[in-house]
Amino acid sequence: MNLEAIITAAYQKTKIQKGKGALADYIPELANIDPSKFGVHITTLNEGSFGIGDSEEKFSIQSISKVLSVCLAYSIEGEAIWKRVGVEPSGTAFNSLVQLESDNGIPRNPFVNAGAIVVADILYSVLENPKKDFLEFVRSISGNDTIDYSAKIAASEMDVGYRNAALCYFLKSFGNIKNEALDVLQFYFDMCSLEMSCKDLSRLFLFLANEGTRVLVPSQVLTKSQAKRINALMQTCGFYDESGEFAFEVGLPGKSGVGGGIIAVHPGHYAIAVWSPKLNKKGNSYKGVKFLEEFTTQSQFSIF
């Protein structure tokens, strides 16, 4: 099979489709992105790498950072983190407070906002310099020291992040936030403001296709068992209220962000990143999902 050919064909087929959906508009920085941007990059374990389109342009990875933060927390704290956040799909929109009320402040999983805020609190408690240390972690795995936060985006989110502030205080009312609510929130927004390219993303996530171990400079990020579990989590919970649909149509573990990025992992094979800013009604990249459906259909690559 020729990955380059399949990706190029799927890219071209998706590119010419009318771009449905809308840009995330709750902060100006995301609303001003050129909606025609479209990039794809794959990094494989044994067949090299390949990029097409705007694959080397940096964008705001937003919620994709939730996978990175939970990996760091998991590597430090181990299974203990699952006492403070669950592993079940949420069944409702990504920022709902309803389930928290019935579940006594334990978020359903680390990929809903509430869960990622709890993970931020865990990291805030154990890291010496949370913001600096997390960036170091990301840079070291990806091997790209130019990856950085966007202060502008982080500040914008803090300005309008009332619902996340509500979530954070609500979690604190259940005792599931140990630090100052607004400090944790700031750190959470910092992590979401990370900017990198599809190329960076696919390199960064390759360790999840490689049983938890970095490839270029071998070192263990997660144990084999932990890596499998994070993949399982992405499979069941990675796409908000469209996780089932994504598993059904694409068949790979993955995670999306409202910046229009998606990362998908085929354990034992590759990590692939897509970026197209317009979002479908569930908040996932419209063309990103379409491309991955086409790619997995044509490549007959799926975990199922």
Shortest Å, Cβ 53 to its own copies: 27
Distances in whole angstroms, Cα of residue 271 to Cα of each of 168, 188, 201, 234, 276: 32, 25, 8, 13, 17
- Report residue 218 as tokens: 């071998």
* Cβ 147 to its own copies shortest distance, Å: 26
Give exposure, 171-187, as e/b (b: 16+ Cβ within 10 Å): bbeeebbebebeebbbb
Give the shortest CB-224-to-its own copies separation in angstroms. 8
Closer CB to its own copies, 69 or 176, in the complex: 176
Distance of CA 156 to the CA centre of its chain: 20
Judged by beta carbon, residue 187 or residue 240, the one nearer its own copies is 240
Q: How far apart are CA 234 and CA 207, in angstroms?
A: 14
- Smallest gap from residue 23 Cβ to its own copies (A): 20
CA distance 247 to 253: 7
Closest to its own copies by CB, 216 or 232: 232
**123 versus 234: smaller Cβ distance to its own copies:** 234
- Give least dist CB 116 to its own copies, A: 16
What are the C-alpha distances in Å from 98 to residues 42, 229, 286? 38, 26, 27
| Residue number with CB closer to its own copies (161 or 259) | 161
Q: How far is the CB of 182 from its own copies (least distance, A)?
A: 9
Comparison of 185 and 194: residue with beta carbon closer to its own copies = 185
Min dist CB 99 to its own copies, Å, is 7
Q: Which residues bind its own copies (CB under 8 A)?
A: 86-92, 96-99, 101, 108-109, 162-163, 165-170, 172-173, 181, 224-225, 227-229, 231-233, 235-237, 241-245, 247-249, 251, 253, 267, 297, 300, 302-304
Closer to its own copies at the Cβ: 197 or 296? 296
